[in-house]
Structures are given as structure tokens and as C-alpha cells.
Structure 1
Amino acid sequence: MGDDAKAQLQALREELQTLKSQGQNGGFETVSNVSQLTTGNLKARRQLKGHFGKVYAMHWAGAGSSEELVSASQDGKLIVWNAQSTLKKQAIPLRSSWVMTCAFEQDKNQMVACGGLDNLCSIYKIEAESTTVTRASKELQAHDGYLSCCRFIGSDHIITSSGDSTCMYWDIERSEVLKSFTDHNGDVMSVAINPNDKNTFISGSCDATCKLWDIRQQQCVSTFTGHESDINAVSFFPSGMAFGTGSDDSSCRLYDLRCYQEVNTFMSDRILCGITSVAFSKSGRLLIGGYDDFSTHCWDTLKANPGNPAFSNEKGHGHENRVSCLGVSSDGTALCTGSWDTLLKVYA
């Protein structure tokens, strides 16, 4: 590329940045008469006890089985729970105990997936009549690094992210990579599927950026910046028009896909640790984050620069170790948190 072309490219970049800055002319500070948010009734209703190692991941089932969830622990077990009765429906022994993620298939609720330092995405079929699953039905192998996150797209496809800086879109039945997404410059830690458009998903990476992808284009649609450190978690807003993030820079952020911009930041001077996981309430009013300091904080997404969470569940009132994962049930009635203290707690 010649010097003239480089100069033109730089000028275009500066012009684009100027236009973006001009577009940032409104935000949540313009919202008035926002009703006071009350979360005083959010209490621990159930405790899921059965793991003997650090719980690293959990994921709720889809709408047809909104009381069920799957959890993964470094005791080498994948457990499918009924969160209402606290009973274990299935306990699946894993070939590798170094598991980092798990996922529940959302359409038929008949499969779960997991992966970790074995670089594999292992998929297990679960059946109502059987309580014992010993072998993976599929093992998806192509990543060159640890598997950090996986999410089903229907019952035939799955998206995986990895420490090799890529995401992959798989055909489960054929155990084949259909598309690879390679624009990140650091470990990809989390992915989230758009709830209203299964062709698009968000990824968060250790390069401190999030990227919006379109499976049909096999390329990055947009890159979102703002965080100053690793992004550990991403979650879509219920409408699919925005998404939330959690980072090692001690902040959660809200980005809007319609303006391709950050629209709110959730942080506090007294919160100095990283965020491991994020999820939205059913309405989207709450953004819930799990933190390294054993706490869970709920932020009011309508308040501009809130400064303090709307609700906090701190050490002594919740978990006794790092909150490693959390999620809201598909019907929006329950929040589950998982921790390195080996427990899962269900709040409602």
C-alpha cells in the first residue's frame, strides 16, 4: 500500500470517528421520571448442593423446561438439576475435569454441551427415562486452545469460542466446522446468541473488544470498544437490540446495536474486582453481574452512571468464594448463581 493510500485511509478513519462522536448526543442522562426500582424481595430460595469442586459454569434450559439447569464443576461432573425441587436429574461424568463452560440446548432441551482445557466441545444427549449418561454423543474438535464458551443455535448447530482467538459455527450431526470467525486479537471468553435473530451473535475477548458477527457473512459486522481490560462475559438484552458486558476493569457496560455505541456504564468506586458473568432480567431493567469478590450486583439499566447497584448480595449473605457464573431462567422468575464454593443458589 502506497503512502497516498495510507494517508487516505487514515483520513477516512478520522472522519468516521468524528461522525461517531457527533452521533453520541443523547443517552440515559436525558431520561426523566424513572420509577424507583425495588429488589428487596430478591432472596435465596433454593441451594443446589452436590458438586465437590469449583463450579465454573451453569446454563438454564429453554422455555419448555424452565425449571431445569445444567452446571459444570471441576469435580469432573456435569449435573442436570431441577431447580424447583433441587433434585439431580442426571449426573454426567466427564473425560476431563478441567471444564470451563456448559450449555443447555434451548429448543427441545434434550442436549447439553461442555468444554474446557481439553480443547473439545463434548455434546451429551439427555433422556427423561434415563438418569445415567456416560458417553458423549459428539466430540467437536478443531480449536487449538481451551474452550471458553459454547451456545446452541437450535438443535443442529452450536457456536464455540476459544483461547485460540476464534469462534466456530458447527454442524453437530456431522461434527464439522461450517464457519470460523477470526478477527479477535486475544482469547475469546464469551459468546451470546441474539434471541430474536439466530444469525447474529456477540463475542467478548481479552483484546478488550466485543464483536458483532453475522453467520451468513462470516465476518465481523461491528467492533465495540470502551473496556480497558479483558471482557469475560457478554449477554444479549431481551429485545436483541442491545447487549451487556462484564470485564476485569471492574465495569459492566451496555451497548446498543442500533447506534453501534456504548450507552451506559455500571461501576462503583468501591468495586475494584473483575466481573465473571452477566445476565439481564426478563424485562431488561436489571443487569446482573457476578464478581470476583464473592458478590453479585444488580444494576438499574435506566439510570445514567448509577454509581451504586440497585441491589447487592455480598460475602456473608451469598457465596463464600468467587461467583463464577450466573443466569436468569427462560421465564424470568429465577436467578441462579454458581461459585467456587461448590454451591449453586437460586434467587427469586
Structure 2
Amino acid sequence: YFYTQNTKTFSSSQSVSYNYVCVFMHVPSVHQVAEKMEAVAALSLKTRRVLKGHGNKVLCMDWCKDKRRLVSSSQDGKVIVWDAFTLNKEHGITLPCTWVMACAYAPSGCAVACGGLDNKCSVVPLSLDRTENLAAKKKSVAMHTNYVSGCSFTNSDMQLLTSSGDGTCALWDVESGQLLQSFHGHTADVLSLDLAPSETGNTFVSGGCDMKANVWDMRSGQNIQSFESHESDINCVKYYPSGDAFASASDDATCRFYDLRADREVAVYQKDSIIFGASSVDFSLSGRLLFSGHNDYTINIWDVLKGTRVSILFGHENRISRVRVSPDGTALCSASWDNSLRIWA
């Protein structure tokens, strides 16, 4: 710290002195703070279901809030809605383009959104009639000038957030297809986005090829926080369950943890033996575990507080494209370029 004294003169006969003390504080990492905490015991997660049906790389997946159904999208141009308990394919939707890079379940469970190399994001209402042609009912909602890399409904079925290779994110009205807000700040492709978990939250985080993770205010369109500590593309961003922090996964083979209140990176998850990029991250329901999918076909499980790797999951035969914990926290789903999805518990 340093100490200074300033004197301000109001008149020839009166002056007032002000004393300033500026303190520069060292903010410790999460690992340092948690040094004396008990470590998480070794986990024994096993593959409980293997979902096969796609004819090419599975690029994205998302859970329904009913904790049972999930949607997946693939390079084969198909979107499949699955029953994770029975492995039944409830719906199959064929899109006019391949590389369906993004998919998301609506909060009500009555629709899914999907998009990819056609630069569009479409919403498809789901029907109880499994023989109905859902592709004919799909509605184009979002239109970018480059591929759609990610999509997410807000806290209702009526608004949709998208990220794109055109370097922007956008908020759309589902009913009218009107652009409600655009978000400019990235200088390269945006690869991922995640909405703050609070029901009244008005922020989301995005990550991209400019190695930046940006936090946005959905109402104003302003970039309110920005983080630049990765050394390569950021493939995925995911909020901590409390909404006060988020994690990122990068091609630099690390995952990083940022505290929004401290406005800084507070943890790095890496090992010398991990040399392949991290493609996706998600937290356990409590926030104590971090799951990261990697290009070496493995899923690493980290103790968020201690920074140590708790376990490694093997089973996929190609790179992991997505990891997502179920809404009730009892299972993990992974999507892979080996054309399959796996449910771990």
C-alpha cells in the first residue's frame, strides 16, 4: 500500500487536508483457499446407457427439464429426441443441411431448437404423435451471416439466444423471428454461450476463437466483463450453479474458473499429461465437481476447490463434443464424434 496527503485550499485563510490510503490486495486462488479442505473421494462412474442412431459425428446435446429426455444433433443432418431411460428414439428430425452444430430443449419440453452450417436456428414444436413429420413444422427464428455455433432458450419458450461464426451473439423473439438484441464484442468466431442460471438473470457468457470469454447484459447489449487468459480458442463456457462464476474449456488443454465478483481468474485445471484440447465443460449440481470432455476421447473429473483430477472416464472412441449433467444431478451425458452418446452414473 502507499499513503499520500493532499491539501485543498478553499480561501486564503482556510485549507483542508485529505489523507488517502490505497491498498493493493493479493487475491488467492481457489486452490490456496481450499488447501485444508478434505479432498473428494475417488468416483466410480460407469456407462449405464449407450445411445446409438446417428450416422455421423454427434456435435451437441441438451437435457430436457423432465430429467429423462434429451436432444442431440449430428453431422448427419439429423436431430434426435431420446428417452434416456428406455433408449427409445421419440422423434427424428431431418434438416436440409449437415453439420447441425447446436441444439437446445425448450424449458417447457414442448419444442427444440437447432442450427448449424445453414446460418439459421430453427425451432421445432414436438408432438405426441411420433409419426408426424416434425421437419415440416419447423420455424426459422434466427438468421446469422455465418454458421450457428450455439443456441439456448432463455427462461421461457418465447426467446432464443444464439452464437455464431460471424463473431456475434443475438437474442430473438421465437414467435415473430424478430431480432431483439445483438451483441458485438468478439473479434472472431463465437463458439459457445451459456445463460446465467438465475430465473431473473439477465446475463450470459460467451467464448470464442479470439480467446476471450465475455459476459453480456441482455437488456442493454453491453459487454460488462471480459476475460483473456487462455492461449487458444475457447470451445465452451459454463456458469457455476450459483451464477457467481463460470468455467471455460479451451484448445490450450486447460479449463479455467473465473469469479465474476473478483473479476478475475481464480483457478486453472490442467496436468502435464493432458495435451489435447478441452471441448466442453459442466458442473455437478453442487458445484464441487467439474467435468471436462477432451479431444483424446476422455472425460476428466476435477475437484473444483482443490484443483486435482478425481477421475477419468474412458469409453468413447473419438473426441468428446459435449458433456452435460442432468437437471437433477444424477447422471452425466456425453456426446462424441464416434456417432454415439453415453449416459454415465
TM value normalised by structure 1: 0.89
Supply the distance in 2 between the matched residues of 1:172 and 1:97 (Cα, whole angstroms). 23
Supply the distance in 1 between the matched residues of 2:122 and 2:163 (Cα, whole angstroms). 13
Which residue of structure 1 aligns with residue 338 of structure 2? 341
Q: Bigger CA drift: 283-292 or 22-31? A: 22-31
Q: CA deviation at 1:28?
A: 2.6
- Say which SS state the counterpart of residue 32 (structure 2) adopts: helix
Which residue of structure 2 aligns with residue 128 of structure 1? 128
Q: 1:217 to 1:36 in 2, by over 3 A?
A: same
Supply the distance in 1 between the matched residues of 2:24 and 2:229 (Cα, whole angstroms). 13
Residue deviations 1:230-269 (CA, integer Å, cap 9, x gap): 0000011111111110000100011111111111000110
Which residue of structure 1 aligns with residue 218 of structure 2? 215
Which residue of structure 1 aligns with residue 11 of structure 2? none
The answer to whether the 8 Å contact 1:122/1:136 transfers is no
The answer to whether the 8 Å contact 2:142/2:172 transfers is no
Q: 1:180 to 1:320 in 2, by over 3 A?
A: same
Which residue of structure 2 aligns with residue 303 of structure 1? 306
Q: CA deviation at 1:128?
A: 2.6
The answer to whether the 8 Å contact 1:28/1:303 transfers is yes
Which residue of structure 2 aligns with residue 48 of structure 1? 51
Which residue of structure 1 aligns with residue 8 of structure 2? none
Q: CA deviation at 1:39?
A: 4.2
Alignment of 1:55-66 (within 5 A): 55-62=58-65, 65-66=66-67
Which residue of structure 2 aligns with residue 264 of structure 1? 267
The answer to whether the 8 Å contact 2:48/2:344 transfers is yes
Which residue of structure 1 aligns with residue 178 of structure 2? 176
Partner of residue 289 from structure 2, selected from 283, 286, 289: 286
Which residue of structure 2 aligns with residue 156 of structure 1? 158
Supply the distance in 2 between the matched residues of 1:272 and 1:190 (Cα, whole angstroms). 22
Query: In the alignment, residue 287 of structure 1 is paired with which amino acid?
Result: L
The answer to whether the 8 Å contact 1:120/1:143 transfers is yes
Unpaired runs of 5+ in structure 1?
1-18
Q: CA deviation at 1:129?
A: 3.5
Supply the distance in 2 between the matched residues of 1:25 and 1:344 (Cα, whole angstroms). 39
Supply the distance in 2 between the matched residues of 1:287 and 1:111 (Cα, whole angstroms). 29
Partner of residue 321 from structure 2, selected from 313, 321, 324: 324
Moved over 3 A (4+): 19-23, 129-132
Query: In the alignment, residue 225 of structure 1 is paired with which amino acid?
Result: E
Q: 1:232 to 1:21 in 2, by over 3 A?
A: farther
- Say which SS state the counterpart of residue 345 (structure 1) adopts: strand
The structure whose residues are more often helix, as a share, is: 1
For the pair shown, the structure with the greater C-alpha radius of gyration is: 2
Which residue of structure 2 aligns with residue 12 of structure 1? none
Query: In the alignment, residue 117 of structure 1 is paired with which amino acid?
Result: L
Alignment of 1:194-205 (within 5 A): 194-196=196-198, 197-205=200-208
Please say if 1:276 is aligned against 2:279: yes
Which residue of structure 1 aligns with residue 14 of structure 2? none
The answer to whether the 8 Å contact 1:250/1:274 transfers is yes
Q: 1:207 to 1:38 in 2, by over 3 A?
A: same
Unpaired runs of 5+ in structure 2?
1-21
Residue deviations 1:113-142 (CA, integer Å, cap 9, x gap): 111110000110012343431224321343
Q: Bigger CA drift: 181-190 or 23-32? A: 23-32
Residue deviations 1:53-92 (CA, integer Å, cap 9, x gap): 1111101111xx1111000011221000011111111111
Q: 1:285 to 1:67 in 2, by over 3 A?
A: same
Partner of residue 190 from structure 1, selected from 192, 196, 201: 192
The answer to whether the 8 Å contact 2:121/2:143 transfers is no
- Equivalenced residues, count: 321
Please say if 1:28 is aligned against 2:28: no
TM value normalised by structure 2: 0.90
Residue deviations 1:275-319 (CA, integer Å, cap 9, x gap): 111111111111111111111111110114x3xx21112xxx310
The structure whose residues are more often strand, as a share, is: 2
- Say which SS state the counterpart of residue 292 (structure 2) adopts: strand
Report the aligned-residue RMSD: 1.6
